[in-house]
Amino acid sequence: MSVMTEAATISESTARFLQQQHQLLINGEWVDAASGKRFDVVDPANGEVIATVAEGVSEDIDRAVRAARAAFESGPWSRITASERGKLIWRLADLIEHHLDEFAEIESLDNGKPRAVAAVADVPLAVDLFRYMAGWATKIEGTTIPISVPYMPGAEFHSYTLREPVGVVGQIIPWNFPLLMAAWKLGPALAAGCTVVLKVAEETPLSGLRLGELIQEAGFPPGVVNIVTGFGETAGAPLAAHPDVDKVAFTGSTEVGKLIVKAAGDTNLKRVTLELGGKSPNVILPDADLESAIPGAASAIFFNHGQCCCAGSRLFVHRNHFDQVVEGVADAARTIKVGPGMNPATEMGPMVSKIQQERVCGYLQSGLDAGAEAVVGGHRLGDSGFFVEPTVLVNTKPEMSVIQEEIFGPVVAAVPYDDPEELVSAANDSIYGLAAAVWTRDVSQAHKLARKLQAGSVWVNCYNVFDASLPFGGYKQSGWGREMGHEALELYTQTKAVTVQL
Ligand code: NAP
Ligand code: MG
């Protein structure tokens, strides 16, 4: 395997954006971090510094929370109509769409993903999410409820519920889909009428900052969305622990998710929603159409370089077709064009960071040491940049870390099975439960397995199908709550029951 090195030149507008003195967005203004410190943003395709951003710490989080609180309690946002909220969100969607090419370029340079993929997936999905949520702003409704209080015979009441925004929300997002994760978080919060402090990932802060500029341009009042760049331990942790934050919404590792829950519990018992890791089973039944299942299995793991919380990282194949499927997925891996995201021919870019590359290679080494075999791949790739070979592992054992833990890289473990019952327990043998897939021509089997698999999303004869209207989230240690759909919106509101004696 080899890695391409050439990359297209950066457009003028993106080059201008990169050179800006990036600041924090607090109370409608771009400001330096209180410490005055900055940190580097690196292009993972070559390790070069492409920008620097402000290093926000707890003092900045504090300022941002105060701005969000003021905007929520008494700013113009607290008085605007639901329709106006919806219009602002829609306008933001239009602006992102207008700058689609620029966002695709920024994501590619900052995260490493192919620019062409960001242009057809990340950015349009973010646009669509904001549009979907814009529509909900005017449809957040309570109910009227007939009550019959037994100890007040003859009394008459009018009872109803109000669905109110939870308040100030802290949002902490990861680096795998930087713009899209910001959209998943901001869309429902804004539609519900909350105000936000968003902490973007240290590895990929740039699209969030560009989004901040468009939030300003769209006309959101000051303090409604505050954006802080910084590190997890020094900016994320104080946000999760802040006593004046009403809810924290987090996407990232299960390990940090547990810290978020602890921080919420130790302070003000703020609401917590979590979208965490996964180790998703992708199941090929004996009757599957292998012509679609094999490329489907390859794309389930190799899309976004395997840096997807729902990546199909455990591939279960009936023994009858095991060799054929493994060979097919390995062939697909061999033909993937690996290179910088900015090269138009690139199908797979680098891992997001050196740390992530090392983490993935560490898993590979531990699997190989424990007796697994790489049919293809198994190592880092190239001399510069953070590339890893697309890898197919076989001969794994259930207790190996490559089977139990989330690798978050282009590594799939293929496991044969004989008996359908054994398959279900093997597929569910995970602390995670984010997604699963089944490939079959048998409709009844598909529905039966969909019920038995412990996962928040089950795909049949497809993988990685996302829509703004479909709830997404985890069973077990893959999370609490749901992103997208009506369910996400509900998690940014709380119910008030009002009773009037007539
Ligand atoms: P992570 O540490 O969980 O980071 C996710 C977000 O949480 C980032 O914004 C991070 O900030 C922040 N954070 C880190 N420590 C924090 C703390 N103590 N309190 C509050 N916020 C904190 O994930 P990672 O280091 O980027 O990747 C590690 C592993 O997480 C991956 O290998 C993968 O298994 C998993 N992961 C899952 C997803 C997903 O979509 N479910 C996404 C990314 C990663 P910094 O970026 O500044 O550290
Ligand atoms: Mg990190």
Q: Which ligand is nearest to the CA of 256?
A: 1
d(CA 247, CA 111): 28
Would the CB of 72 count as within 6 Å of ligand 1? no
Would the CB of 406 count as within 6 Å of ligand 1? yes
Mapped onto helix, strand or coil, the DSSP state of residue 6 is coil
State residue 1's pLDDT score: 80
Would the CB of 191 count as within 6 Å of ligand 1? no
Q: Is 275 tagged catalytic?
A: yes
Element (H, E) at 449: helix 443-452
Q: Cβ contacts of residue 74 below 8 Å, gap of 6+?
A: none
Would the CB of 252 count as within 6 Å of ligand 1? yes
Length of the chain: 502
Q: Which residues on adjacent β-strands are paired with residue 31?
A: 24
State residue 299's pLDDT score: 98
Tokens of 494: 């709380």
Q: Tell which atom from ligand 1 comes closest to the C-alpha of 405.
A: 34
Distance 172 CA to ligand 2 centre (A): 11
State residue 217's pLDDT score: 98
d(CA 105, CA 399): 41
- Closest residue to atom 48 of ligand 1, CA basis: 232
State residue 34's pLDDT score: 97
Ligand 1, residues 256, 363, 364, 464: which to mutate, most atoms within 8 A of Cβ? 256
Q: Tell which atom from ligand 1 comes closest to the C-alpha of 409.
A: 32
Q: Which ligand is nearest to the CA of 232?
A: 1
State residue 57's pLDDT score: 98
Q: Which of 278, 319, 313, 317 is nearest to 298 (CA)?
A: 313
Would the CB of 253 count as within 6 Å of ligand 1? yes
pLDDT (tens place) for every residue of the chain, 502 residues total: 889 888 888 999 999 999 999 999 999 999 999 999 999 999 999 999 999 999 999 999 999 999 999 999 999 999 999 999 999 999 999 999 999 999 999 999 999 999 999 999 999 999 999 999 999 999 999 999 999 999 999 999 999 999 999 999 999 999 999 999 999 999 999 999 999 999 999 999 999 999 999 999 999 999 999 999 999 999 999 999 999 999 999 999 999 999 999 999 999 999 999 999 999 999 999 999 999 999 999 999 999 999 999 999 999 999 999 999 999 999 999 999 999 999 999 999 999 999 999 999 999 999 999 999 999 999 999 999 999 999 999 999 999 999 999 999 999 999 999 998 899 999 999 999 999 999 999 999 999 999 999 999 999 999 999 999 999 999 999 999 999 999 999 999 999 999 999 9
d(CA 13, CA 218): 19
Give yes or no for a contact between 224 and 73, defined as CB atoms under 8 angstroms apart.
no
Would the CB of 483 count as within 6 Å of ligand 1? no
Distance 172 CA to ligand 1 centre (A): 9
State residue 2's pLDDT score: 86
Catalytic residue among 308, 309, 310, 361: 309
Quote the pTM value: 0.98
DSSP string, 240-304: HH-TT-SEEEEES-HHHHHHHHHHHHHTT--EEEEE-----EEEE-TT--HHHHHHHHHHHHHGG
Q: Cβ contacts of residue 198 below 8 Å, gap of 6+?
A: 171, 173, 182, 185, 186, 208, 225, 226, 227, 228
Distance 231 CA to ligand 1 centre (A): 10
Would the CB of 175 count as within 6 Å of ligand 1? yes
Distance 279 CA to ligand 2 centre (A): 19
Ligand 1, residues 231, 253, 310, 464: which to mutate, most atoms within 8 A of Cβ? 253
Q: Tell which atom from ligand 1 comes closest to the C-alpha of 406.
A: 34
Q: Cβ contacts of residue 325 below 8 Å, gap of 6+?
A: 284, 290, 293, 294, 297, 315, 317, 414
Q: Which of 335, 294, 289 is nearest to 315 (CA)?
A: 294
- Closest residue to atom 10 of ligand 1, CA basis: 232
Element (H, E) at 51: strand 48-54
Q: Around 161, how many Cα atoms within 13 Å sit in the side-chain half-sphere?
A: 13
Would the CB of 453 count as within 6 Å of ligand 1? no
Q: Is 73 tagged catalytic?
A: no
Q: Tell which atom from ligand 1 comes closest to the C-alpha of 275.
A: 41
Would the CB of 313 count as within 6 Å of ligand 1? no
Would the CB of 309 count as within 6 Å of ligand 1? yes
d(CA 209, CA 242): 23
Would the CB of 237 count as within 6 Å of ligand 1? yes
Distance 321 CA to ligand 1 centre (A): 37
